[in-house]
Amino acid sequence: MARVCLVGSEDCNLRYELLSRETAREALATYDIREPFANTLAVETVSLGAAVALCNDLNWYLVRFTDAAMVLEPSVSETEWLSRSLATAMRDDAVDEDERDRFLKVYGVEPPEDDDAEPRLVEPMLVTRTGDSIPEYDLRAVDETVVVRVSRDEFGA
């Protein structure tokens, strides 16, 4: 099962924006919607291909209301997400195996301000993996991070 997580832009309420529009609501109707982080929306799909297809179906909304769309594919990694662009390239067999692991965007995770809230993704940092480890997140003090593998083009390399 692949998981899709959409990260909303700061100036909108992603859940409201998607579920208040008929086409997006219908595309998401068959999924159990979760909110793992503040202003995100996550669903589980049957495969990497289905995850990419869902993002494609929601593209009009993603361009307007999200900062990122990422996919967690357990056959690639249990803990590291893929950017939408990298997930699409992997589905299409259009990326070298060594390149898919090298370029990363690391988000800090801030704990919730109160018990009823979700943790919040903050300030992504671009890093390059040069071995088995990655550089430490140093943009602010956080206890947790979320690692997203990105394509060479997204990284700007």
Provide CATH 3.30.70 ranges for the chain. 2-76
- Is the model's pLDDT at 157 over the cut of 70? no
Full-model pTM: 0.94
Task: Tell me which DSSP letter residue 150 carries.
Answer: -
Q: Which helix (H) or strand (E) holds 137?
A: none
- Is the model's pLDDT at 112 over the cut of 70? yes
d(CA 37, CA 52): 21
E strands of 9-111, at which residues?
40-45, 66-72, 81-83, 103-110
Task: Tell me which DSSP letter residue 34 carries.
Answer: B
2-76: which CATH topology? Alpha-Beta Plaits (3.30.70)
Range list of H helices, 31-156? 48-57, 59-65, 84-91, 97-100, 152-155
Confidence of residue 132 (pLDDT cuts 50, 70, 90): confident
